[in-house]
Amino acid sequence: MIKLILCIVLISLIAYVGYGIERFYRIRYLVAKEYNEFLTFVQRETCFLKTTILEMIEKYNFTSKELKQLLVSTIDNSFLEIDKKLDDKLVFEVKSFLKEFCTCDYSNVKSILLNANEKSKILLNSAENEKIQKGELGRKLTILVGIGLLIVLI
C-alpha cells in the first residue's frame, strides 16, 4: 500500500516538473509571439494616428500579462517587476526598442519599427525552437524517467 502511494506521489511530482518545464518555454514563446504582434499593432497606430506608446499599451489586448508588465515597468523605470520567466534577450530587446522609440522623431519611427520587427522575428524563431527542443523534450523525458522509476519501484 505504501509503495502504491509512493508511486502515485512520485509520478505526480515528475509529471508536475515536466509540465513546469514545458510551461516555462511555452510562456517564453507566447511572449515572443505577442511582442511580434504588438510591434505590428504599433506600426499601424504610429504611422497613421500618431498614438502614444502609453495609449497603445492601454489599447492593445494583451494575452500575456508578462509582456504588458515588461513594457510598463520599462517605461516607468521600475525594473523590479519584470517576470523571471522571460528570456533575457527578449527583455534586453524590449528595453532597447522602448529606449529608442520613446525618444525618436516621427521620421525615424518606421526604421526603428522595421529593425525591432526583424529582431523580434529572430527571437520568436529561437523561442519556438526552445519550446520544441527543450520544453516538449523535457516533458517527454520526465514522463519516461517517471515510468522508469515506477518500474524499478514495482
Partner 1 sequence: MLKELLPINIYNILTDYVNLSTICELRIRVDKNLSLKTYERKFIVDYQPTKNDLEYIIQIASRHSLYAYEDDIKKGFIRYKGIRIGLIGEGVTNDMRLLTIKNFTTLVIRLPHQIVGIADRFNLLKDDFQNTLVISPPYGGKTTLIRDIARILSYHYDTLIIDEREEIWSNSFDFGPNVEVFTGCPKEMIVEGIIRSTSPQIIVLDELFQKSDLSVLGEIKRCGIGIVASVHGNGIDESKKFSPELLSYFNLIITLSNKPKVGSIKSVIRL
Site residues (vs partner 1, CB under 8 A) = 46, 50-55, 75, 98, 101-109
Minimal distance, residue 49 CB to partner 1, in Å: 9
Instruction: Give the residue with the Cβ less far from partner 1, 6 or 102.
Output: 102
**Separation CA 97–CA 91 (nearest Å):** 10
Instruction: Give the residue with the Cβ less far from partner 1, 74 or 120.
Output: 74
Classify the phi-psi angles of 50: left when phi > 0, otherwise alpha if psi is within -120 to 50, otherwise beta: left
CB 69 within 8 A of CB 83: yes
Minimal distance, residue 134 CB to partner 1, in Å: 35
End-to-end, the C-alpha distance of the chain in Å comes to 11
Helix and strand numbers (H, E) in the chain are: 6, 0
Minimal distance, residue 51 CB to partner 1, in Å: 7
Instruction: Give the residue with the Cβ less far from partner 1, 44 or 85.
Output: 44
Instruction: Give the residue with the Cβ less far from partner 1, 71 or 124.
Output: 71
What number of CA atoms fall less than 13 Å from residue 58's CA on the CB side? Answer: 5
Minimal distance, residue 54 CB to partner 1, in Å: 5
